[in-house]
Chains A and B, each alone.
Chain A
């Protein structure tokens, strides 16, 4: 059994990344490096109004005063911020009115990724916004959404067409002063998605963004803002891939969610950035700031993430539960393999009375990887009857990996009920024996067990993504997961 297991681990380690192709497409890039001119250049490229440029410059100046944080539970060589291209866009730059006008090379890329925009449009009824390097390429289903009053467009478009909304909410949840990477993003973000769901509207379809880093030496800094007005509902999906390269690439995105009275936002991520090769060379640094605020009473924000890619994943999708009776949820599966490192988790800040939160985190480490859960549950003085339940389980595959848990719990109110539970285990030999006995091979058995281990989280994903997530788990642990 031990021998077999070692073989499987070896196979896991040797698994290759299948989205590692590049697309040969003419790119327009900014010169390498970061300075005030680059910020102005990006802003000018986007034809942005004056207030937007000011916001960027303010963020840039603030960023200059900061030092990159050092408290994380992983090592990485310092990032040279002057060696990154902050803007890269496919050159074809005329206004697109339909998918037919999109560069066929690009469409091919998305087809390879399994998101044929065209097909998706016909079959699944998911509205997709595809972001290639830093620029939003195409948004499907725009017209249908418009009828309901829903705005789903590229951030650059929203800045032009809905400045009042952008002005009101951009930076309201993640201010540029929030942290090092948020400041950097605010200064140089190039595009992203903007969603506004009007009062009382239930978004009829899943909204989805697909991020792809293609060009070399670029960083991707997209910015997503979702505003759900009173009584509305939206489910939003995000997926990402990148080509294989020897050097590390930085992805520092910011996602802001705002839920007003009785609104509900469900945000799902399947992250599959290039994780680097098995020696830990190359791969994406995924340093993302994601935060939602339940501004209104009875509002709800739910984060679901399946993290399988990236050399380093460092993010804490958080909820500020400001409204009374608001609900925050966080469901996460993080898989690390080879020399991948993950330091992820969530923050639940209870401010409103009777606010509730639930955290379910599943970490799986294999190879020589390290997987850290770090979370904060804070109950403020005025948050009467706040309730939190946290469960974080880790599974170790192989004896050279690590699993770490750093939960912070800060309680200032006596009526709070807070529970935290965590466990660490490996796949039990008796479990495998049980399966073997019934004619299920070891590989399949491990697959069964891992899938069962993650099921609570996978169940939270919308159908379209659950399938993809399961496939991804299979790819990440191929050889052990069927």
Chain B
């Protein structure tokens, strides 16, 4: 039975037990038909040219919302649990109330699991759910929308701030069988609201797992968001992670993606600037070894004038690993005075590592400043020599230089615990 057939059965099963919310059921039905129409993307699609889903499609993943106690324990043991923050824990996309802990919140702030929010706050939910991450032409989004389990819902009303970070743990548990987990997060910031959100991806179990995530972020005028994503799934984990950020005027967004582990990872990070004077920073670091595969696709739509975006993705590649980078900057007609920067820098530490990078610009306005750059190289021989001639071992010199290389990204992260995890991982991998 192919994965597509399994998904079909799952959807039929879901429909039989669907609850009364008609509009939600309809969204999912439409999404499912779109997925059936499109099927899984193949390398013939330009967007998936270097990224094959073949190894996923051939496996009999089971769409699951089941919960395992070990997974809960694992989340509790994450070093991030010690941070003074709001913690939301999900296993296979299901909310684990007993492992989660919330600090007191300001009035009208909602930090809940999506399923509860849908019934308790239908107004906020219906206004935003499925409005940004389109399913048309996007098979993986359609799949998530059709069969999603649960996820985090964060709603910050106007002129309000969530003081402490919200940390969302998504654990994919494949101890019993090959699991397909489909979490979904929705973050809504009203005018002048601000928040700090961390997404943590973990996995458990020896069986292969496939996590297909969709995140939707809406930032109304003058909202501010610090958004971190840290991917630490185990060796046999596959992950497809799609994020759409929709920005109104004067919004300020800082996004950092750290891909530290996982067998196969595909990230799509899209920004759409729907108002003037938006400020978007997107940074990323990927560390790959073994046969790891990491693909970062980003897209920044400068739809309005006077916006600024700065993008920097860095990669350190070892062994037989492969990384893909595709950055798109779209400057729409009349989006004058756009400032957009994009860089992708890679260090290859082995002859067998492969990097495919495609920094792309599409510009339809004339009064813009856009630059992009990509570099691929090795550690600077002279720097290595300099350090070694001063009695520093080769291993330590390598570590120092790589930490310096990653420092650009680290300094964008305002939570020191995340930086510590990153640095530890660099040390461990080298």
Q: Which residues of A line the B interface, CB within 8 A?
A: 71, 381, 394, 396-426
Contacts and interface: CB of A to CB of B under 8 A. Distances in A.
Given A406-B358, A420-B373, A422-B371, 12 more contacts: A398-B366, A399-B333, A400-B333, A402-B364, A403-B361, A404-B360, A409-B358, A409-B374, A411-B376, A417-B378, A419-B373, A423-B370
Contacts of B362: 402, 404-405
Contacts of B346: 411
Contact of B361 (A401, A404, A408): A404
Contacts of A404: 360-363
B371 A418 contact: no
Closest 4 pairs between A and B when the two form their complex, measured CB to CB: A396-B366, A414-B348, A405-B361, A420-B374
Decide if the interface of chain A is mainly helix, strand, loop or mixed. strand
A213 B352 CA distance: 50
A422 B375 contact: no
B328 to A, nearest CB: 9
Contact of A422 (B333, B354, B373): B373
B109 interface: no
A414 B351 contact: yes
Contact residue range for chain B?
35 or more
Nearest to B338: A424
28 contacts: A396-B365, A399-B366, A399-B367, A401-B366, A404-B361, A405-B361, A405-B372, A409-B356, A409-B374, A410-B355, A410-B356, A411-B356, A412-B354, A413-B348, A414-B349, A416-B348, A417-B376, A417-B377, A418-B376, A419-B373, A420-B359, A421-B371, A421-B373, A422-B359, A422-B371, A423-B370, A424-B368, A426-B367
A409 B345 CA distance: 12
B359 A396 contact: no
Contact of B357 (A394, A397, A409): A409
Nearest to B336: A399
Given A396-B363, A422-B371, A409 B351 contact: no
B204 to A, nearest CB: 34
Nearest to A418: B376
Contact of A402 (B46, B353, B363): B363
Nearest to A384: B351
Contacts of A414: 348-351, 353, 378
A97 to B, nearest CB: 54
B54 interface: no
A246 to B, nearest CB: 28
A412 B354 CA distance: 5
A418 B354 CA distance: 13
Interface in B316-362: 333-334, 336, 346, 348-362
Nearest to B363: A403
Given A408-B356, A416-B348, A422 B367 contact: no
A433 to B, nearest CB: 15
Q: Which of A401, A403, A414, A415 has the most CB of B within 10 A?
A: A414
Contacts of B33: none
A305 B351 CA distance: 35
B121 interface: no
Contacts of B363: 394, 396, 402-404, 424
Contact of B351 (A408, A413, A425): A413
B354 A410 contact: yes
A391 to B, nearest CB: 10
B369 interface: yes
Given A411-B355, A422-B371, A416 B376 contact: yes
Given A397-B366, A401-B366, A406-B358, A415 B374 contact: no
B402 to A, nearest CB: 14
Contacts of A402: 362-364
A415 to B, nearest CB: 7
B47 to A, nearest CB: 12
A52 to B, nearest CB: 35
Nearest to B372: A422
Interface string B376-392: 11100000000000000
Contacts of B352: 381
Nearest to A371: B363
A407 B371 contact: no
Contacts of B366: 396-399, 401, 426
B206 to A, nearest CB: 31
A23 to B, nearest CB: 39
A380 B356 CA distance: 12
Contacts of B370: 423-424
B322 to A, nearest CB: 9
A404 B374 CA distance: 16
A409 B376 contact: yes
Nearest to B376: A418
Contacts of B356: 408-411
B389 to A, nearest CB: 22
Interface string B4-37: 0000000000000000000000000000000000
A419 B344 CA distance: 10
A388 B212 CA distance: 37
A409 B355 contact: yes
B351 A381 contact: yes
Given A396-B363, A402-B364, A404-B362, A418 B377 contact: yes
A411 B365 CA distance: 32
A419 B348 CA distance: 14
A192 B336 CA distance: 46
B354 A424 contact: no
Contacts of A394: 361, 363
A412 B321 CA distance: 10
A276 to B, nearest CB: 21
Nearest to B374: A420
Contacts of B375: 418-420
Given A405-B372, A407-B374, A71 B359 contact: no
Contacts of A423: 369-371
B350 A424 contact: no
B44 to A, nearest CB: 10
Q: Which of B356, B368, B374, B376 has the most CB of A within 10 A?
A: B376
Contacts of A399: 333-334, 336, 365-367
Q: Which of B46, B334, B372 has the most CB of A within 10 A?
A: B372
A408 B368 CA distance: 23
A426 B358 CA distance: 24
A424 B330 CA distance: 12
A413 B349 CA distance: 9
Contacts of B359: 405, 407, 420, 422
Contacts of B334: 399
Contacts of B358: 406-409
B378 A415 contact: yes
Contact of A411 (B348, B349, B367): B348
Contacts of A416: 348, 376-377
B311 to A, nearest CB: 14
A145 B377 CA distance: 46
Contacts of B46: 71
Given A416-B376, A417-B376, A422 B350 contact: no
Nearest to A393: B371
A382 B137 CA distance: 39
Contacts of A381: 351-352
A233 B321 CA distance: 42
B430 to A, nearest CB: 14
Contacts of A417: 376-378
Contacts of B372: 405, 420-422
